[in-house]
Amino acid sequence: MDKKNVRLGIILMLAAMLVFAIQDGISRQLADTYNVMTVVMIRYWFFAAFVVAWSHFRGGGIRKVARTTQPILQIFRGVLLVAEICVMVFAYTLLGLIESHVVFASYPLLVIALSGPILRESVGWRRWLAVGVGFIGVVIILRPASDVFTLEALVPLLGAFMFAIYSLLTRYVARKDRAMTSFFWTGISGMVAISFIAPFYWTPMVGNDWWWMFALCITGVLGHFLLIKALEVADAATTQPFAYFHLVFAALIGLFVFNESIDSMIIVGASIIIASGLFTIWRSNVNK
């Protein structure tokens, strides 16, 4: 692969992670005042509009993009993702960006752990060892035997579990469907699902909060656009390790915008999780 493409792919991936971190910060800002369902529904309406436009102009037409032999799985993926987003935005309001993202960073390890039963993939002992070590990091962060443990700390872990299943199902449907088709069903089925539920929890927005909502929608679309472009110019094996910068950027926003704190146990646990995740990525590439 051309070095210029690799460099551009890494830059685009870093930019996508920064935008997604900003999106998370705005989500927390709005969810502190408005119902989580309201925030996610409006965001998904905008996202679905982007998906439809992208499918029409870049995918060869909506009918062509939407064609799939596995509609049930595609719909389930989309519903699972929008539910995971609701869980994580709720986690931001409970724990803040830093602790939520640190726990959520364990999702690549969950992908490895679940890839056997879901995808029938073989996982070597080295990656199983990395998974075990990574979850030691999660336990260090959660500290279940200490006075600081709360049940709320399990919310981002649930989000990580849901996103891991979503990621595995995305790999599964990719055996028959192209990426554009999965992207289309992610946006449309998620939008339909949240639109059935969220109106019952509708919280009217007022004043400048609509500008925050507009910014949230823009960052959502921009983040996905940058991610798509990153994967277009460089392969996933090259860019995937840089996805961990999402945690770094979110932590910085948590520290300097929301005045969150970070203690030594979180740093130790996060370091273990990230090191284990990077090792599993490296072993996955070696085994190809």
Q: What is the pLDDT of residues 236-253, one digit of tens each?
A: 667 778 888 898 999 999
| CA dist., res. 44 & res. 24, Å (int) | 14
Rg of the chain, C-alpha, whole Å: 19
Calculate the alpha carbon distances from 284 to 127, 171, 228, 287 in Å.
8, 14, 22, 5
Q: What is the pLDDT of residue 219?
A: 95
Residue of higher predicted confidence among 254 and 135: 254
| CA dist., res. 276 & res. 147, Å (int) | 27
**Which value, to the nearest 10 degrees, does the dihedral of the CA atoms of residues 81, 85, 146, 262 take?**
130
Task: Kindly tell me the burial class for residue 118, based on how many C-beta atoms sit within 10 Å of its own C-beta (0-12, 13-18, 19 or more).
Answer: middle
**How many independent structural domains does the chain possess?**
1
Residue written as token pair 């940058």: 226
Q: Residue 278 pLDDT > 90, yes or no?
A: no
Q: What is the pLDDT of residue 147?
A: 53
Percent of the chain with pLDDT over 90: 50
Q: What is the pLDDT of residue 165?
A: 93
Q: Residue 145 pLDDT > 80, yes or no?
A: no
pLDDT, tens only, 151-203 = 788 899 999 999 999 988 988 998 899 888 999 999 999 999 999 999 999 98
For range 267-284, the mean pLDDT: 83
| Helix (H) and strand (E) counts in the chain | 13, 0
Q: What is the pLDDT of residue 2?
A: 60
Residue of higher predicted confidence among 66 and 152: 66
Token pair in block for residue 169: 């199902």
Domain that holds residue 103: 3-286
For range 59-80, the mean pLDDT: 93
